[in-house]
Amino acid sequence: MTSEAVSSAMHHSVGSSGMRKTGARVALADMVESLRSIRVALVFGWQDVAQRYRRSRIGAFWLTLNTAIFIAAIGLIFGTLFRAPAGEFLLYLGVSIIVWNFLSTTIAEGCTTFIASEGIILQVRMPLFIHIIRTLWRNVIILGHNIVIFPVVLFLVGDFLDWKALLAVPGLLLLILNLAWLTLVCALICTRFRDMTQVFTNFLQVMFYLTPVMWMTRTLPERVPSLVYEVNPFYHLLQLVRMPLLGEYPDGISWIVALGVAVVGWTWAIIFFGKYRWRVAYWL
Amino acid sequence: MTSIQLQNVSVEFPIYNSPSRSLKNRVLSVATGGKIERKSDRLVVVSGLRDVTLTIREGERIGLVGHNGSGKTTLLRVLSGIYIPTHGEVSIEGHCISLINISLGIDPDATGYENIRLRGVMMGMSPREIAEKMDEIAAFSGLGDFLDVPFRTYSSGMQLRLAFATSTAVRPEILIMDEWLSTGDEEFKGRANQRMAELVDATKILVLASHSRQLLAANCNRVIWLEYGRIKMDGAPDEVLSAYFGC
């Protein structure tokens, strides 16, 4: 009898709904509940990657292979074009592309997160942020695959890691923290306005060239002001992970920008999510 | 105490991709479907439920009847907490599971065992619960060694057996169903019906939408008739069913 009482008491807090429809508290409650049942997100995120391994020997490493070939090709072409020292440029390019791919794929998949989970959202009452965690987790696992390119390039170039590389870990966490709110906002907007997915994809494409991913800031001609990349938050997020892996300290300004964007972004995302969370099921 | 309460609940669906065209200000009343109305110059709205007030207490077995488009599925989704109503208040007390698409969460390329686990996670079962019920689910499905091979290699009957066996292993306080689950060959059907009866007995509230008079008469102690998103009749099964089915 007691166990029954406990289990029903437990479900009360989870099961009751409709007290409030909108507001920051709704958004926060959704996120807290998502973190409590994070296992669902982790299992299904893992499942998404596992699916790539079915009937394929190397599975998700196909993505890694694609990335590696891309890096090799671009490294060869641009290294010659920019007359950058081949080894240094290859290492720079390798790290940049791996991190950028993680960033842009997460945002691009973020756009379709709710749309892709339509079946679940319309049938199972689940906090919505769970689907965002699933997208993030899936992309972190893919990043884990792609990162193996880095030691290979490091070996080819004949370079070594030093302890500064450890700074890439907090940098990556800060990047993920920022991607989480970005993904949430993109998912909400794209569920309501389906065309926006294309707009965001194009935006990411432009940002890929605008952000120093394939080019180095010091190869920029004199007449171009450094403001071109310094006002770009993607640049600072990228720097936080990239610089430590290249054996340098990221600038203080990059930490400040990343933290500032996280605080402002999350505040905005929570208000936005609180306002429209209840509409998502209707938009699907 | 398990209960569901709806207070003046209305659900309106915005239709964004349909221009308000020639709908003018009149309200279209058609044989099936909800009401389509024009809210403003730009927005077309379909109302799925209109001003529904309803209290469901522990022990009630509710049957839902109504024509296609009368709001049954919308009401089921409100009762499961998926649609938050546009107007009115909802309060749901209790752990709720809806068995609408029992194949949700299944990965065709994963094995039977993996799919039992995936489907269990989707229904909110804990790892321990899944481990405890694994053997029983496997035995009930009757699939034996097939549980070790990918789901996609199963015949459609076998696929349904697995989905059914896993989905009915839960013991929620509130159970929501769109049509009765019944599946398989004669031998399996008998066992499946018995298992459904056990599941229904174990839940405190059942809400079942169905077009089968016999089924509703056998399983429900209260029937609600929906029409154009409103409750047209609410009462004892005999009374409502004979009014709805017309004899």
Per the model's pLDDT, the better-predicted residue between B192 and A109 turns out to be: A109
Average pLDDT for B65-69: 89
**Domain check: are B124 and B179 in the same one?**
yes
**Domain check: are B127 and B190 in the same one?**
yes
Which of A8, A123, A281 is facing B98, going by the closest CB pair?
A123
**Domain check: are B190 and B153 in the same one?**
yes
Give domain status of residue B106, yes or no: no
Reduce the DSSP state of residue B126 to 3 states and report it: coil
CB contact under 8 A, B92 and A12: no
Indicate the helix (H) or strand (E) that contains B180.
Answer: none
Closest CA to A261 of A238, A239, A234: A234
The reply to whether ipTM tops 0.90 is: no
Q: Report the range of poorest mean pLDDT among A31-45, B37-51, B217-231.
A: B37-51
Q: Is the pLDDT score of B90 beyond 60?
A: yes
Q: What is the pLDDT of residues A151-177, one digit of tens each?
A: 999 998 888 888 889 999 999 999 999
Chain B contact present for A62, CB below 8 A: no
pLDDT of residue B23: 43
Q: From the CA of B224, how many Å to the nearest CA of chain A?
A: 22
Q: From the CA of B73, how many Å to the nearest CA of chain A?
A: 10
Task: Please list every residue in chain A whose beta carbon sits closer than 8 Å to the beta carbon of residue B13.
Answer: 282
**Domain check: are B130 and B188 in the same one?**
yes
Chain A contact present for B81, CB below 8 A: yes
The residue ranges of chain A whose pLDDT is under 70 are 1-20
Q: Is the pLDDT score of B169 beyond 70?
A: yes
Give domain status of residue B212, yes or no: no
pTM: 0.86
Q: Is the pLDDT score of B239 beyond 60?
A: yes
Q: Is the pLDDT score of B142 beyond 90?
A: no
**Domain check: are B116 and B189 in the same one?**
yes
Q: From the CA of A61, how many Å to the nearest CA of chain B?
A: 18
Chain B contact present for A281, CB below 8 A: yes
pLDDT-based confidence at B62, cuts 50/70/90? Answer: very high
Dihedral, CA atoms, A92, A93, A99, A102, nearest 10 degrees? -170
pLDDT of residue B123: 87
Chain B contact present for A120, CB below 8 A: yes
Write out the two tokens for B208: 């079942």
Give domain status of residue B67, yes or no: no
pLDDT of residue A214: 87
Give domain status of residue B68, yes or no: no
Q: How many C-beta atoms surround the C-beta of residue B202 within 10 A?
A: 12
Q: From the CA of B90, how many Å to the nearest CA of chain A?
A: 5
**Domain check: are B86 and B15 in the same one?**
yes
At position B4, the amino acid (one-letter code) is I
Q: What is the number of structural domains in chain B?
A: 2
**Domain check: are B154 and B225 in the same one?**
no
Cα separation, A140 vs A162, whole angstroms:
23
**Domain check: are B145 and B186 in the same one?**
yes
Give domain status of residue B157, yes or no: yes
- B121, B126, B176: best to mutate for the A interface, most A CBs within 10 A: B121
- For residue B44, the enclosing domain spans 3-62+81-94+221-245
Chain B contact present for A83, CB below 8 A: no
